[in-house]
Each structure stands twice: as C-alpha cells, then as structure tokens.
Structure 1
Amino acid sequence: MSKVLSTLRYSAEHEWIDAASPARIGISQIAADALGDVVYVDMPEVGAEVTSGEPCGEVESTKSVSEIFSPVTGTVVEVNQEPVDNPGILNEDPYGAGWLFTVEVTEEGPLLSAEEYASANGGDVE
C-alpha cells in the first residue's frame, strides 16, 4: 500500500504540501503509484502566480497525462530541476528528491490531514 507521510497535508487532487515557508509541494505516492512510470514533468516557472485548486503543470506517464493542481495560492519561488531531468524520481522518492516546487503562500486551499487523505485514498500513514 502507498505511504502517506503524517508530517504533510494533502489536496483532494493528490498534491502534498509541507509546513515550511515557502511551502514545498509535490505529488503523493498514491498519485505516483496510480500514474505508473513517470516520463515527463511540466511545472510553473519561478515568479508564476498559482491559484489554489487550479492546474499549474502536468505529469505524464506511460499510461496517462495528469494535471498538477496547486494546493495553495501564491508565488512560485523555486522549481526543483531533478524531476524535469529525471521524471522517474517521482516514482522513486515523491516525498524527498521528487518534490516539485515551492510557493510563498498567500492563501491555502482546502487541505486534508494525512489521516483524512489516507482514509479517502487507501494509503498507510507513516
């Protein structure tokens, strides 16, 4: 079963966010496992404004293309080049080296606790 980290919060669209400032954002292991082998990642650029609940990028796998939805509203301040250069890192380490981007948050969208997210999606909280 896919792991859900207890230290993070999650969107209903399968993105995670940490409590840091700026906030780091990625996709959950549940999403990565459902996608299969990730082959391409498109993310917002530094300085872009993202809006909670709105698409801001894409993850493409051998099975499908899925949009990345921002769990918060704010300004992108950093983009992780690792998933662009090595998209498979999202399958290998979605909570570590596979983080996507950071946002200076001005407003949070609706977020779930790890327990709520795991209960709704079948993951194991760690």
Structure 2
Amino acid sequence: MSKLLITLSFLLLMAVAAFSTKPALNRAKKTSDPNQWKNRPQSPCHYGGRVYQSGAVFLAQNRCSTIRCMGGQMQFASIKCLYNNMCYNVGANIRGGHNGCQLMNCQGNGQFRPVLSDPYRCKDAYNMCRICQG
C-alpha cells in the first residue's frame, strides 16, 4: 500500500507541475510584446570614416547612390552611376569610353558597362561617332 501511495503522490505531483507551467507560459506569451525591441537603440553604421545613426540616409562614395543605415547594416536606398560629374539612373545609356563614342549602360551595381553590340564606336575625321571600318 505504501508503494502505491508513493506512486500516486509522484504522479499527482508531476501532473500539478505540468499544469502549473502552462498558464505561466501562456501568460508570458500573451504579455511579451513582439515589438518591444523597436525602441531599443540601434547600432550605428560606419562608412567613409563617418558614423551614421540607424535610419540615416547618406550619399555613397560615388556621390550619386544613397545608402540607408538600418541597425548597423547598410542597404542601398537608390543606385545611380556617376560619369563626368553627372548622375545617371540604372539602365541609362551614354556615350563615353576612351574616345567618347563607346555606348555605356548604367548597371545595377552603380558602374557603367560598355554595350558591345553598338556599332558606332569609332570617331571620324569630323569628330563624329561612326561605324568602325575594317
């Protein structure tokens, strides 16, 4: 009889422990705010020898693209290409290169890339871009 009493007491104790932790766990889930970390100070970003606070938007080194600091991580807010002190949107075409006749396209990485299919890559005697001959 004593073994039965000990076993029943043990089972009753385990059942009480199991049921008492669930309400505490549910209460913790209900009272914890998933947005509680939003008001926490965010880590700053270090870029170009400067420190920017989280949420700040600043110019990239090419002076055309913008970067946003988000919790210590930097993300491009806008990407543009720089050529002859002018900013161009991604997808824009310009004439440039070593002789000024190479068709260049602004890429998503902020760099211009030559358009190889363009035939007007050579300058003639009148300084006009023409199709290259032989």
Which TM-score applies when normalising by structure 1?
Answer: 0.23
Q: Which has the larger helix fraction?
A: 2
Which TM-score applies when normalising by structure 2?
Answer: 0.22
- Choose 1 or 2 for highest CA Rg: 2
Instruction: Specify which structure has the bigger relative contact order, considering alpha-carbon pairs within 8 angstroms and separated by 6 or more residues.
Output: 1
